[in-house]
Structure 1
Amino acid sequence: MLEIKPIFHALCRSKIGAILLLLQIAITTAIVSNAAFIIEDKVSYLSQETGYPEDEIFSFHVMLFGNDVESHQQFELDETMLRGLPNVIDAAYISNTPLSGSGSSSDFSINPAPEPGLSARTAYFFTDDHALNTLGLELASGRNFNESEVIVTDNNEQRANVTIITQTLADELFSDTDALGKTVYLGDIALKIVGIIKKAKGPWMKDSRPDNVALIPYINPNISGNFIVRTDVKQRAQLASTIEDEMLKSYDKRVIIRVRGLDEAKENYMAQDTLMMRMLIVLITILVLVTALGIFGLTLFNISKRTKQIGTRRALGARKSAIINYFLVENAMICTAGLILGVIAALLLGQLLMQHFSIAALPPSYIAGTALMVFVMSLLAVFGPAKRAANISPSIATRSI
C-alpha cells in the first residue's frame, strides 16, 4: 500500500499513456457488458423450443395455372397422394408455414366484434384434421378436429365453427376458467375451442405473442397454397428432392416452389439475428484482445523507460517480487479507474439501447462479470512484462550511470 503514492506520482508524470489505457478499459467494459447481454438474449431466442419436430417436416408452395380443376378439390387429392408416398408419416394443407416469417394474425376475442372484451393477438393457420399429426403437436386437453368439421370449399361465405388453440392463448383469454369448450371470436366468426395444444410457435418468433396460435379447419386455397409433410429424418432430404415430380404427376399445370425443411425456414427467418450474434462475438473478442495488447504494450514501454530505475532498485536489494508487484499495482490503479468510468458508460449505453431498440434493461450481473473479466485479463496481460522487468540485471541496468 505504501507504493501507491509514488506510483500515482509516476503516472502523473506520464499521463497520456495511462489516460489512453484508462479510456480503452472503460470503452471495453461498456461495450462488452452490453454486447454480452445481447448475445445471451439472442442465444436464448435462437434456441427456444418451437413445439415442432423441425427436422422431420418440410413444406412447399403450390401455384396452379390450369383452369380445368377446382383448386380445393385438387388440393384434397394432393393430400391423399402425399400421405400414400413411402416414408411419409402424414401430410396436410396449411395456409402458411410456421416459423417462416410469413402468415396471418388477428385479435381473438372472448366477445364478437364490435363488442368490447378481452382479446389477444393470435397467429392462425387454415388447415385440416391432419395438421396436428403432421406438425407433431401434442394436445394438453380436448381432441383433434373431426373430418366433418373441416370445411373444404371455394365459397368465401362458408366458415368453420371450431378451433384448436395453444395453452398460452387459452391462459391469456381464460385465466380463471378452463378454455376447453369455450367460444372465441375472430372478428364476428364464432369458434368453439375443441382442443388445446401444449406448445406451438406461430410464423413470427419475434412477435409480441409468438406462442398464441390457433388452427382453424378451413381449406379455401384459391390458386395457391402450402403443404407440410412429415417424414423420417433420414428420408426427408430424398423425399423433398422428388416431391415436385410427384406433384406434377398428379396434376402438371402448376408450379412447385420453396421446398424446404421447417428447420431451414426457421434458420432463414433468424438469419439476421444469427449474423448479429456472430458479429457481436467477433467485436467482443477484438475489443478484449486490443485492450490486452494495449496493457501489454504500455507496460513494455514503461519498462523500457524505467530500465535504469529498475536496475537501481535491484542493486539496492529490491526483490523480483517487489518489481512485479509495482507493475501489478500500477496496472490495477489504471484498470480500477477505467472500470469505474466503464460501469457508468455501460449503464448509460444500456439505457440508450433500451429506449431506442426496445432491449431489456442491462442486468448489473453482466456489468460486474465484465468488470471482473477485464480486471483479471489486465493483470494477466501485465504479468509477463512485469516478470521480464524483474529479471533485469542490476549490473546491466546501472552500467551507464
Structure 2
Amino acid sequence: MQIRPILSTLRHHKLTAILLTLQVAFTCAIVCNVAFMVAQRVQRISVPTGIAENELSSIRSRGIEKGENMQAQQAADLAALRAIHGVRSAVAISYSLPLNQSESSSGICPSKEALDRAMQLNSIEGSGCVQPASYDGTPGLIATLGLHLVAGRDFLPDEYVSKGKPAVAIVTRALAEKLYPGRQALGQSMYDGDHFIRIVGIVDTLLRPNLRKPGEDGDSMIWPQRPDSAGVTYVLRSAPADRQRVLKAAETALLKLNPNRIVDPKQMRTYTQIRSEYFQRDTTMIGLLIASALGLLFVTALGIAGLANFWVQQRTRSIGIRRAIGATQGDILRYFQGENFLIVSAGIVLGGVLAVLLNLLLMAHYELPRLPLWYLPIGALALWALGQLSVLSPARRAARVPPVVATRSV
C-alpha cells in the first residue's frame, strides 16, 4: 500500500484527515451502542409468553344488573361462546393475560420460616420469598392458553373455588426453581401468610402481564379460582384466520344472551394485538434507532466520498506523474483505498474507546447493560467496508486519469 507516501501526503492535509478520523470515531461509537440497544429491544419484544399467541382472542364483558348471579351468567356465556363455529375452547378469567398490563400479584414464600425472615428484613430480597404474578380462570384454562405442563397435573374440578383462596396452585418452572432451588417443587406447600398452598403442577413458561426484569418476568402462578365480579374476560381459542370472525360472533352471542351488559369494542382483541400494543413503544424506538444509525452512516459515507473527490481534484498532477513513470491504474486505485483504510482504522481505534465510554455513561443514567466487546469488531468491519465502498468511485476516477492529460497540466 506504500504506507510512507500515504503518511507523507496526510501530513500535508492534517486538519482534513483529523476531521474525517473524528467523524469515523464518533460514528463507530454511536453505531456500536445503537446496534446494542436495538438488539436489546428486539430481544425484549421477542420474549416468549408460553401461550398459544396466534390462536387466542379475548373479549371483555361487564354486567350492569344488581344482584346478578355471576357464576350462572358465566356458565351460560361460556356455553354460547363454545357453540360458535371455529371456537375450540373458551374460558373466563378475571382479566390478567401475559403482556396485557393488568397484573395481580402477591407475596409467596417457600415456608413459614422464609416469611419470618422477610418480616425481619422488611423485604423479600434475600429471604427466599417471591412476588409472582397471579392468574385465575375457569376449568380448561391450561389447555385454552396452550400452556405446556412439564410436571404434575391440571386442576381437578373440585379444587376450583369462587370465593377465598384455593388450596392448590400451578407455578412456572422459573418460579419453582426460585422458591425451591435444587429441590423438587412439585408437591411442596407454599405459604402466603395465611394459608399453605400445595403445588400440583409446573408449566414451562408463563410471562407476567407487566415485564419487570429478565430474572422476574417468568415468575407466575395460576389459581383454580373462578372470576366472581361483574367484569369478566372471555378467552377464546380458534384457528389464527378465524379470530376476527370469532370475536364478532362472540359479541353478538353475548349481547343476545344478555343485552344488559357492556361489551367494550376496545377490549375485543386478538392476542397478537395485545402483544403489539404492549411493545408499541419498543417497536417505535427500534425504528428511530435504526433510522438514526443509517443516517449517521450515510453522512459518514458522504464525508469519505466527498473528501476523496476533493483530493482527486487536488492531486491530478501527482497522479499524472505517477502514471507517467509507470504506475498502473491498479496502483492508483490501491493508493486511495489504502489511504482511506488508514484514516478509517485510526477512527475505529478511537471510536472503540469512545464506544466503551458512551456505554458506561448509558449504564449510569439509563440502566443499559454493559456493551459486549464483540460489537466493536463488527462495527469496525462495517466501517471498513463503508469506507472502501465510499472511496471506490473517486479512486476509480483517479485511476482513469491518462498520463498525457496529467503532463499537460504541469
Secondary structure of 2:139's counterpart equals coil
Number of matched pairs: 396
Work out whether 1:60 is the aligned partner of 2:56. no
Alpha-carbon deviations, 1:305-339, whole Å to 9, x = none?
11122112222222222222221222122111111
**Which amino acid in the other structure matches residue 322 of structure 1?**
D
Name 2:341's counterpart in structure 1: 332
**1:175 matched to which residue of 2?**
181
What residue in structure 2 maps to residue 384 of structure 1? 393
2: distance between equivalents of 1:375 and 1:140?
49
1:70-112 deviation digits (Å, cap 9, x = unpaired): 3343223322332233222211111212221221123321134
The alpha-carbon deviation at position 68 of structure 1 amounts to 4.5
**Secondary structure of the residue that 1:169 maps to in structure 2?**
helix
Distance 2:138 2:111 in 1: 25
Q: Is structure 2 residue 153 aligned with structure 1 residue 147?
A: no
Q: Secondary structure at the match of 2:208?
A: coil
Amino acid at match of 1:227: Y
Q: Distance in 2 between matches of 1:329 and 1:360?
A: 36
- Runs of at least 5 residues in structure 1 that lack an aligned partner in the other structure: none
Whole-Å separation in 2 of the counterparts to 1:186 and 1:253: 38
- The answer (yes or no) to whether the contact 1:72–1:222 under 8 Å persists in 2 is no
Q: Distance in 1 between matches of 2:326 and 2:403?
A: 10
Q: Which residue of 2 aligns with 1:201?
A: 207
Note if 1:247 corresponds to 2:254.
yes
Cα separation, 1, equivalents of 2:321 and 2:151: 83
Which TM-score applies when normalising by structure 1? 0.93
Cα deviation, residue 118, structure 1: 1.3
- Between 126-135 and 315-324, report the one with greater CA deviation: 315-324
Match of 1:30 in 2: 29
Hey, what does 2:192 align to over in structure 1? Answer: 186
Q: 1:124 aligns with which of 106, 116, 134?
A: 134
CA distance in 2, matches of 1:54, 1:114: 36
Between stretches 201-210 and 179-188, larger displacement belongs to 201-210
Q: Distance in 2 between matches of 1:399 and 1:166?
A: 82
Within the alignment, does 1:47 sit opposite 2:46 as a pair? yes
CA distance in 2, matches of 1:107, 1:286: 48
What's the CA shift for 1:173? 0.8
Q: Residue 111 of structure 1 corresponds to which residue in structure 2?
A: 111
Worse-matched range after superposition: 54-63 or 277-286: 277-286
Q: 2:350 aligns with which of 332, 341, 349?
A: 341
CA contact (8 A) 1:162 1:193 kept: yes
Partner amino acid, structure 2, of 1:336? S
Within 1, Cα distance between the matches of 2:166 and 2:311?
80
Q: Give the AA of the match of 2:116.
A: E
3-state SS, counterpart of residue 171 of structure 2: strand
Q: Which has the higher strand share?
A: 1
* Partner Cα distance (1:17, 1:266) in 2: 50
- Distance in 1 between the 2:38 and 2:188 partners? 41
Match of 2:379, SS state, is helix
**Which of 203, 213, 218 pairs up with 2:225?**
218
SS in 1 for 2:381: helix
Q: Which residue identity does 1:170 align to in structure 2?
A: A
Deviation for aligned residue 1:161 = 1.3
Is the Cα–Cα contact under 8 Å of residues 29 and 354 in structure 2 kept in the other structure? Answer: yes
Which moved further from structure 2: 105-114 or 58-67?
Answer: 105-114
Contact 1:59 1:97 in 2 (8 A): no
**Cα-Cα RMSD:** 1.9
2:150 aligned partner, one-letter code: A
Q: Which amino acid aligns with 2:237?
A: R
SS at match of 1:160: coil
CA distance in 2 between counterparts of 1:86 and 1:311 reads 81
- Segments of 5+ residues of structure 2 without an aligned counterpart are 118-126
Q: Distance in 2 between matches of 1:377 and 1:306?
A: 23
Show CA shifts across 1:45-92 (max 9, x none).
Answer: 222322211111111222222215133432233223322332222111
Q: Percent identity?
A: 34
Q: 1:194, CA displacement in angstroms?
A: 1.1
- What SS class does the counterpart of residue 109 from structure 1 fall into? coil
